[in-house]
């Protein structure tokens, strides 16, 4: 019997690259952050975003990040030949993202000139209004990473805050009460975050994927299973298809609880794959 030809309906990867991406865990060590984007306390790397975008979309399709920060998803989309839209609450980060997009367009020497890549300085909680105004078109893929609750305000982050403050870098996302990174109550934070992701559904194409990069949170001597709680909160709208675990192997170990109690060095994130079914 002749071998059936490989038909790829999801992306433009060859079978070998497809299989490599399907590994349930991966180590990704990004290059150093540029001076322009160091200001953001928790940016995820363009190189990682590009791998996800190139798996879940084809050239010319539309990518959305409702919490785009300084523009990692947008840069990755341009490099991949995709249209992209980003929403960002913090006006300073939105402006950095626009500058990064302009610089990337110039670096691509015209190959991205026909691609739409826009940053909206808006609250992601207002997504239904943007969708109703047709500001955002039908989306083929959502890639995003939310604030990990209010961990930047926690006592355990004090050393990091001091180091960043000494370099005149941001230690919080903002002081805006609409910023989810400032919500003190975990249940309220989770409800508001899940509501934002549920509100994306009307602009997400059928069978399109949503990837949320998130981490469980340790605070006050206990763990808050943010990744798992978020998955459960979204199951009424999306189907959780799988997870990939991003392992970070380039961070120095710290002696948490040494000689006294179990406290892990947590160097992994969950990349949750949902589908709009």
Does the structure show a pLDDT above 70 at 233? Answer: yes
Mean pLDDT of the region 122-130: 91
The DSSP secondary structure of the chain, one letter per residue, reads -PPPPP--SS-S--HHHHHHHTSSEEE--PPPPPTTTTTSTTPPPHHHHHHHHHHH--TT-EEEETT-TTTHHHHHHHHHT-EEEEEES-HHHHHHHHHHHHHHHHHTTTTTTT--EEEEES-GGGHHHHHHTTSS--EEEEEE----TTGGGSGGGHHHHHHHHHTT--SSS-S-TT-GGG---HHHHHHHHHHHHHHTGGGEEEEEEEEEEE--EEETTEEE-HHHHHHHHHTTTSEEEEEEEEE--SS----TTTTT-------EEEEEEEE--
Predicted pLDDT of residue 172: 47
Q: pTM for the full model?
A: 0.90
Average pLDDT, the chain: 89
Of the listed ranges 49-58, 130-139, 244-253, the least confidently predicted one is 130-139
Q: Is the pLDDT score of 173 beyond 70?
A: no
Domain 33-249+262-275 fold is Rossmann fold (3.40.50)
């Amino acid at each position: 019997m002749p071998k059936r030809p490989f038909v790829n309906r999801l992306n433009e990867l060859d079978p070998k690259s497809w299989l490599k991406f399907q590994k349930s865990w991966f180590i990704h060590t990004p290059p150093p952050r540029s001076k322009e984007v160091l200001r953001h306390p928790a940016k995820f790397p363009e190189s990682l975003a590009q791998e996800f975008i190139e798996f879940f979309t084809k050239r010319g399709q539309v990518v959305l990040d409702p919490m785009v920060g300084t523009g990692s998803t947008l840069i990755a989309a341009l490099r991949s030949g995709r249209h992209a839209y980003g929403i960002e609450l913090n006006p300073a980060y939105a402006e950095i993202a626009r500058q990064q997009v302009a610089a990337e367009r110039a670096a691509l020497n015209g190959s991205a000139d026909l691609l739409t890549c826009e940053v909206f300085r808006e609250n992601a909680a207002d997504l239904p209004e943007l969708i109703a105004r047709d500001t955002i078109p039908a989306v083929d893929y959502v890639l995003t990473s939310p604030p990990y609750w209010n961990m930047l305000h926690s006592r355990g982050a004090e050393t990091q805050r001091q180091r960043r403050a000494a370099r005149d870098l941001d230690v919080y996302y903002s002081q805006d009460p609409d910023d989810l990174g400032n919500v003190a109550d975990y249940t309220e934070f989770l409800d508001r975050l899940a509501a934002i992701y549920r509100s994306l559904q009307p602009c997400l194409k059928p069978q399109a994927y949503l990837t949320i990069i998130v981490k469980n949170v340790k605070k006050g001597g206990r763990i808050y299973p943010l990744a798992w709680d978020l998955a459960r909160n979204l199951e009424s709208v999306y189907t959780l298809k799988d997870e990939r675990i991003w392992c970070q192997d380039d961070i120095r170990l710290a002696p948490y609880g040494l000689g006294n109690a179990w406290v892990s060095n947590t160097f992994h994130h969950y990349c949750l794959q949902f589908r709009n079914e």
